């Protein structure tokens, strides 16, 4: 998004909990990937998952020496998420698990084996100065709300919460500067109203505002005009895979920048790092974040593009939205001088052949502080400054 206008305008981003049906699928797919990488770091995996009422289907292709019990991995992930109650009509013990995974195409393997990209495509990375994570404010707040829904549910802080949930935050900008929060939306699956844990929708709204929203949303950015929508349609008892079929890769904007900054279209979860859909997006984020952290731009988007079986990117582009301290063509040259951009080199640089992916499957792949998120490091700022 280019906000280089003085007029006030709004921008909205959403997030979902790990109990959302699409995120259940992302978690299962990445758990399969992790299980394979734990045994064979050179595993090639492309795992897709579908969930619906009491059914989980795994499909895809692999090339690995690992022996993975796919059903056991799926069930353990479903258990970890919290689908352990038959009342949800999707639970770890009673749901059926079907697996349809076959060997990777030899045609694809031929291109990857020589160090080329596992597919064609364009990948984007983005960074800006709106938050300490160098991420857009709307998506970071949405993620914090979704994660808090899960953390409070796990801790038993609100006993009526169930695993499925969504959040959404609308931020008002003046130019590129976020100035206030215009609207907050939280929708959470819950136990039946009138049962042992929840007396009314009014109680739910009051408690969610008090325990979930207020600790997360900065009071300095809210005012009397800020709107709060908590379960705005009312009852949300039917949720999770019983309420809506889930698929791997349907929340790519949640996974990235909340719509601020472009997305090439490829999903991340279930794909090993030879798939540049995933690894090159991580690298593009790393580059963009280091450019902003180095003070070379206030906002930065990096595009990398690849051809299947070809090692070097077919194009490298840097866009600083007019905030760059250097010409964008020079920044693109510096990027190619400093950062390894072939699939094999960037995989080694970011140390991606490890079982680190299940934790990425919910609450965003970017703006995270965990040590395994190597693409979030800002360790190249000195090198970048030295080239300018």
Q: What is the pLDDT of residues 119-170, one digit of tens each?
A: 789 999 999 999 999 999 999 999 999 999 999 999 999 999 999 999 999 9
pLDDT at 117: 82
Structure token pair of residue 82: 């919290």
Check pLDDT > 80 for residue 108.
no
Q: How confident is the model at residue 111 (pLDDT cuts 50, 70, 90)?
A: low
Residue recorded with tokens 């360790």 = 379
pLDDT at 4: 47
Check pLDDT > 90 for residue 367.
yes
Mean pLDDT over residues 36-43, rounded?
A: 97
Check pLDDT > 90 for residue 110.
no
Q: Could you tell me where the beta strands, DSSP code E, fall in 64-160? A: 96-103, 121-128
Which residues, including other chains, have CB under 8 Å from residue 286's CB and lie 6 or more apart? 125, 339, 350, 374, 375, 376, 377, 380
pLDDT at 387: 81
Check pLDDT > 70 for residue 281.
yes
d(CA 125, CA 251): 17
Mean pLDDT over residues 371-377, rounded?
A: 98
pLDDT at 116: 77
Q: How confident is the model over 26-37, as pLDDT tens digits?
A: 999 999 999 999
Check pLDDT > 60 for residue 6.
no
pLDDT at 114: 62
Mean pLDDT over residues 294-307, rounded?
A: 97
pLDDT at 327: 95
């Amino acid at each position: 998004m280019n906000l280089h206008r003085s007029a006030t305008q709004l921008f909205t981003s959403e997030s979902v909990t790990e109990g959302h049906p699409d995120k259940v699928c992302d978690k299962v797919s990445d758990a399969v990937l992790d299980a394979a990488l734990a045994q064979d770091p050179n595993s090639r995996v492309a795992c897709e998952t579908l969930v619906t009422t009491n059914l989980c289907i795994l499909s895809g292709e692999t090339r690995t020496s690992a022996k993975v019990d796919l059903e056991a991995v799926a069930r353990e992930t479903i258990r970890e998420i919290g689908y352990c109650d038959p009342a949800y009509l999707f639970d770890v013990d009673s749901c059926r698990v079907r697996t349809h995974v076959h060997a990777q195409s030899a045609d694809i393997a031929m291109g990857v084996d020589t160090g080329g990209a596992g597919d064609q495509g364009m990948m984007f990375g983005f960074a800006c100065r709106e938050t300490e994570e160098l991420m857009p404010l709307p998506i970071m707040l949405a993620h914090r709300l979704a994660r808090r829904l899960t953390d409070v549910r796990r801790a038993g802080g609100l006993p009526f919460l169930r695993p499925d949930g969504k959040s959404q935050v609308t931020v008002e900008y003046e130019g590129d500067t976020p100035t206030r929060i215009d609207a907050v939306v939280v929708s959470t699956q819950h136990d039946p109203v009138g049962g042992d844990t929840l007396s009314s929708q009014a109680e739910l709204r009051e408690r969610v505002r008090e325990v979930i929203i207020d600790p997360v949303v900065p009071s300095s950015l809210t005012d009397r005009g800020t709107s709060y929508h908590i379960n705005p349609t009312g009852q949300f008892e039917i949720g999770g895979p019983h309420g809506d079929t889930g698929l791997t890769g349907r929340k790519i904007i949640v996974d990235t920048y909340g719509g601020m900054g472009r997305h090439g279209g490829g999903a991340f979860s279930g794909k090993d790092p030879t798939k540049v859909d995933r690894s090159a997006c991580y690298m593009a984020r790393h580059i963009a974040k280091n450019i902003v952290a180095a003070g070379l731009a206030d906002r930065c988007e990096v595009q990398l593009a690849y051809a299947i079986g070809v090692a070097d990117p077919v194009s490298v582009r840097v866009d600083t939205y007019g905030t760059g301290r250097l010409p964008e063509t020079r920044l693109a040259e510096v990027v190619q001088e400093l950062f390894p951009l072939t699939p094999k080199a960037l995989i080694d640089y970011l140390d991606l052949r490890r079982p680190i992916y299940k934790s990425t499957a919910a609450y965003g792949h970017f703006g995270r502080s965990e040590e395994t998120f190597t693409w979030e490091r800002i360790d190249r700022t000195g090198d970048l400054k030295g080239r300018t």
